[in-house]
C-alpha cells in the first residue's frame, strides 16, 4: 500500500501546494503488476560433510507491466481522479539474493549417490532495485523458495522452482500522479512472485554431488 509523503507548503498561505501535492497523506491500495519475463544466473555449493545443506548466490532481472486504472486513492482527492495509476506503465526489478538451502535425495543409484530427484527449500536476505520510468529505488528484501531438481547425469540437471521475495519500504521519487504530472514521493512494499525453470551444471566435490 503506497503512502505519499507530505507536500511542500505555500509560504503565503501555509497550505499544500497544488499539482501532485494534492495526493499528500493519502494511500493507494491494490496496485498490481502483470506477469513478465525473468532471466538470471546463480552459483552455489552443497557442503561436503553435510551434502543436504548448501548455499547459493543469485542475480536476476525482470520487467513487468502495470495496467492502468488501479490504485484507489483514500481519502479521495477533491476534484481529482479516483485512482493513482491512470494509464498503463512498466517497471523492472534487479534482484541480488543469498540463500541457505536444504535438499533431500530420491532415486539414488551408483552414478548419482545422493539421488537423482532432489526437492529443496531455501531462505535468505537480498537487495532489490526497482527501475521505473522516472526514478529507481532500492531496499533490502527477504526471499523464500521451494523447488525440485532432476539430475540427468552427475553434472547436468534441470530444475523448477517457485520464489517469493518481499521488499520493505521502497521509496520512489518524482512519480507521475495521474493528471497532475511529476512530483512527490511514494513509499511502498513490493511482494514479488516468480516461477523459474533452468538448467544447472554441477562440479564434482568429495561426495560426488
Indicate whether 100 pLDDT > 90.
Answer: yes
Look at strands 136-151 and 156-173 and give their pairing. antiparallel
Give the CATH number, domain containing residue 175.
Answer: 2.40.160.20
Q: CA–CA separation, 30 vs 209, rounded Å?
A: 45
Residue 209 counted as domain residue: no
Which run of H or E residues covers position 143?
strand 136-151
Cα separation of 62 and 129, whole Å? 11
DSSP 33: B
Cα dist. 204→13, 78, 99, 140, 165 in Å? 72, 66, 21, 33, 31
pLDDT tens digit sequence for 15-62: 344 555 556 666 766 777 777 888 999 999 999 889 999 999 999 998
Q: Does 170 reside within a domain?
A: yes
**pLDDT at res. 33:** 74
Note whether residue 142 is domain-resident: yes
Is 27 within a domain?
no
Number of folded domains that form the chain: 1
Write the pLDDT tens digit of every residue in 104-125: 999 999 888 899 999 999 999 9
Three-state DSSP state, 184: coil
Instruction: Give the residue with greater pLDDT, 193 vs 207.
Output: 193
Ramachandran angles phi, psi of 23, nearest 5°: -90, -5
Backbone angles phi, psi at 50, to 5 degrees: -130, 80
Residue ranges making up the domain that contains 92: 37-70+88-201
Beta carbons of 62 and 92 less than 8 angstroms apart:
yes
The answer to whether residue 120 sits within a structural domain is: yes
Angstrom distance (rounded) from CA 187 to CA 160: 33
- How buried is residue 101: exposed, middle or buried, by Cβ count under 10 Å (0-12/13-18/19+)? buried
Mean pLDDT score across all residues of the chain: 78
59 domain-assigned: yes
- Does the residue 5 lie in any domain? no
The alpha carbon dihedral of 34, 163, 57, 112 has a sign of negative
Task: Tell me how far apart the alpha carbons of residues 139 and 168 are, in angstroms, rounded to a whole number.
Answer: 7
pLDDT single digits (tens) 73-88: 767 666 666 666 666 7
Q: Is 76 among the domain residues?
A: no
Amino acid at each position: 500500500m503506497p503512502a505519499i509523503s507530505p507536500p511542500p507548503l505555500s509560504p503565503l498561505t501555509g497550505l499544500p501546494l497544488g499539482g501532485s501535492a494534492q495526493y499528500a497523506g493519502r494511500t493507494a491500495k491494490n496496485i498490481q503488476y502483470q506477469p513478465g519475463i525473468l532471466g538470471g544466473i546463480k552459483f552455489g555449493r552443497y557442503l561436503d560433510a553435510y551434502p543436504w545443506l548448501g548455499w547459493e548466490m543469485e542475480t536476476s532481472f525482470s520487467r513487468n507491466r502495470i495496467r492502468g486504472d488501479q490504485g484507489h486513492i483514500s481519502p479521495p482527492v477533491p476534484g481529482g481522479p479516483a485512482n493513482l495509476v491512470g494509464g498503463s506503465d512498466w517497471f523492472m526489478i534487479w534482484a541480488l539474493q543469498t540463500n541457505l538451502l536444504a535438499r533431500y535425495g530420491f532415486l539414488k543409484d551408483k552414478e548419482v549417490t545422493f539421488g537423482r530427484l532432489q526437492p529443496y527449500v531455501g531462505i535468505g536476505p537480498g537487495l532489490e532495485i526497482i527501475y521505473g520510468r522516472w526514478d529507481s529505488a532500492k531496499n533490502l528484501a527477504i526471499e523464500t523458495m521451494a523447488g525440485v531438481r532432476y539430475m540427468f547425469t552427475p553434472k547436468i540437471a534441470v530444475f523448477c522452482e517457485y520464489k517469493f521475495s518481499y521488499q520493505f519500504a521502497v521509496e520512489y521519487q518524482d512519480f507521475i500522479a495521474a493528471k497532475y504530472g511529476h512530483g512527490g514521493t511514494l513509499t511502498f512494499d513490493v511482494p514479488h512472485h516468480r516461477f523459474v525453470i533452468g538448467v544447472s551444471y554441477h562440479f564434482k566435490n568429495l561426495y560426488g554431488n
